Structure 1
Amino acid sequence: MHVLVLGGTTEARRLAGLLVETAPAGARVTSSLAGRVAGPRLPPGEVRIGGFGGADGLAAWLRTHRVDALIDATHPFAGTISFNAAAAAAATHVPLLALRRPGWVPGDGDDWHPVDSLAGAAAALPALGRRVFLTTGRMGIAAFAGSDPLWFLMRSVDAPDPGTPCPARMEVLLDRGPFTLEGERRLIDRHRIDVLVTKDSGGDATAPKLTAAREAGIPVVVVRRPPVPPGVPVVGAPEPAVAWLREQPTVHWP
């Protein structure tokens, strides 16, 4: 038996660990990482890094490596690979599950401004603040390149690629979660932040910034998640994903 986990997230690593622990003799657990982060945290089991070449390439990989089940545990905003996974699974008749951590929910005192895209977030900023804490990652920084005269504190694991359009007034902070509430409070105070931009990534590792923003009374622009491909079942944690795997008639997992 062979299970392929599309991941790189905390949940994907936890899932790979559970699968490796419970795998029957001779079974394979492979995790696929996109390779967009330098020095990724590697999960247990076999690991491959890099793209597949679209849905057709993934389908070919599933056939060649005789994959019996596919679990999409990618980041909630990694939309392209999720739709490629759905197409590849349909073409190869491999059962597919999406593992998505639950999204964040606003609480009392939150001033959230939901938008559908990074471009929408950039358009909303001028009416909300002047000093922006941008936590949407380096890949979408170009959406904010024309946001003069706003100032940005951009936090990401890796720096933007050379030549990427960026805001004219920007400081880059390279850091990797999990983050603490006290640390987020200090960042907001030290840089005089008056608006936060985030994707609805969910999870606990980066949630303290939302509490810090609420305490500071600053607005939060929240980019909504893209949808999961139609017809793909979804679970919110690694344990139900293992339970789903055991229910598949073509997969014999203890």
Structure 2
Amino acid sequence: MHVLILGGTTEARRLAELLAAGPLPVPRVTTSLAGRVSAPRTPPGEVRVGGFGGAGGLAAWLREHTVDLLVDATHPFAGTITGNAAHAAATAGVPLLVLRRPGWRRAEGDLWHDAGSLAEAAALLPALAARRVFLTTGRMGLAAFAPLTDPWFLVRSVDAPGEPAPPRMEVLLDRGPFTLAGERELLRRHRIDVLVTKDSGGAATAPKLTAAREAGLPVIVVRRPPVPGGVPVVTEPEAAARWVTETPAGGRPHR
């Protein structure tokens, strides 16, 4: 039995731990990391770093390495990877599961503005009269905000962003989980008046939403890309681990 996890998230690492130490340990688990973070937290089992060369390259890798089951546990906004995984799994005849943490839910008092993309989020900022923006969309998407010359941006990311980027910005290198007290202080110290975030979900970065609600700040929330139709989705690593132990690989049950 060989399971390939497309990882890079807390949920992917937890799934690898469950498969390695569960009541029915999986003989071989490989986690694939994109390599976009300089010092990733590596899971147990085998680890590979880097892309596959699109859907065709992933399908070839699945065949070459005799992968029985594929779990896409990438970031909720890794839409290209998820699409490639669906195509590659269908091509190679490998069952696919998507593991996605639940999205955030709007609470009473939230001043959320939905955006379908980073470009839409950037277009909303002038209408909100944004002057000091807390941007938590990751280092890869700053190009959408680069044309905005009036607002000042506080950009938080794990690694330093590159160009293009907004001309007026400060970079804060940090990795969650973040505390509510810390997020309150950050908004106060930097005099933030708008928060921009992706709907990443999870508890590690959710305190910024509570802090923004308490401060009465508008929040632009970028919606997730959809999961390809027909692909099963679970929201917890434990459910993904059960799927692995219960799903026949190539028609062969492995209990």
Asked if Structure 1 and Structure 2 have the same fold, meaning a TM-score greater than 0.5 normalized by the shorter chain, the answer is: yes
Structure-2 separation of matches of 1:134 and 1:105 = 19
- Please tell me whether the aligned partners of residues 73 and 99 of structure 1 are also in contact (alpha carbons under 8 angstroms): yes
Residue 176 of structure 2 corresponds to 177
Q: CA deviation at 1:127?
A: 1.8
- Amino acid in the other structure paired with 1:185: R
CA distance in 2, matches of 1:119, 1:81: 20
Q: How far apart, CA to CA, are the structure 1 residues paired with 2:25 and 2:178?
A: 39
Query: Does the 8 Å contact 1:24/1:253 carry over to 2?
Result: no
CA deviations 1:62-118 (Å, max 9, x no partner) are 001100000000000001110110011000110000000000011000000000000
**Alignment correspondent of 1:101:** 101
Is contact 2:146-2:167 (8 Å) kept? yes
Alpha-carbon distance in structure 1 between the residues aligned to 2:183 and 2:92: 46
CA drift of 1:247 comes to 2.3
Runs (4+) of structure 1 exceeding 4 A deviation are 23-26, 251-254
- 2:141 corresponds in structure 1 to 140
| d(CA) in 2 for partners of 1:19, 1:225 | 28
Alpha-carbon deviations, 1:163-182, whole Å to 9, x = none? x1111110000000000000
The residue type paired with residue 190 of structure 1 is: R
Q: In the alignment, what sits opposite 1:237?
A: 236
Q: CA deviation at 1:253?
A: 4.7
Q: 8 Å contact 2:19–2:25 — kept in the other structure?
A: no
Cα distance in 2, alignment partners of residues 6 and 105 from structure 1: 26
Give the distance between the partners of 2:173 and 2:42, measured in 1 at CA. Answer: 20
- Unpaired segments ≥5 residues, structure 2: none
CA distance 1:144–1:28, change in 2 (3 Å): same
Aligned to 1:5: 5
Q: Which amino acid aligns with 1:167?
A: P
Q: 1:39 corresponds to which letter in structure 2?
A: A
Q: TM-score, normalised by structure 1?
A: 0.97
Query: Is the 1:134–1:197 Cα contact (8 Å) retained in structure 2?
Result: yes
Distance 2:186 2:47 in 1: 35
Deviation, structure 1 residue 246: 2.2
Contact 2:70 2:96 in 1 (8 A): yes
Residues 139 and 159 in structure 2, CA contact (< 8 A), matched pair in contact too:
yes
Residue 44 to residue 186, structure 1, CA distance change in 2 (3 Å): same
Residue aligning to 2:111: 111
Whether 2:162 is the aligned partner of 1:157: answer: no
Instruction: State the distance in 1 between where 2:148 and 2:91 align.
Output: 43
Name the CA distance, whole Å, in 2 between partners of 1:248 and 1:214: 43
Cα distance change, pair 3–205 in 1 and its aligned pair in 2 (3 A): same
Give me the identity figure in percent.
72
Counterpart for residue 198 of structure 2? 199
Structure 1: distance between partners of 2:107 and 2:170: 30
SS at match of 1:178: coil
How many aligned positions are there? 252
Letter of the 1:11 partner, please give it.
Answer: E
The residue type paired with residue 177 of structure 1 is G
Asked whether the equivalents of residues 33 and 49 of structure 1 are also in contact (C-alpha less than 8 Å), the reply is yes
Q: How large is the Cα RMSD of the aligned pairs? A: 1.2
State the distance in 2 between where 1:253 and 1:126 align.
56
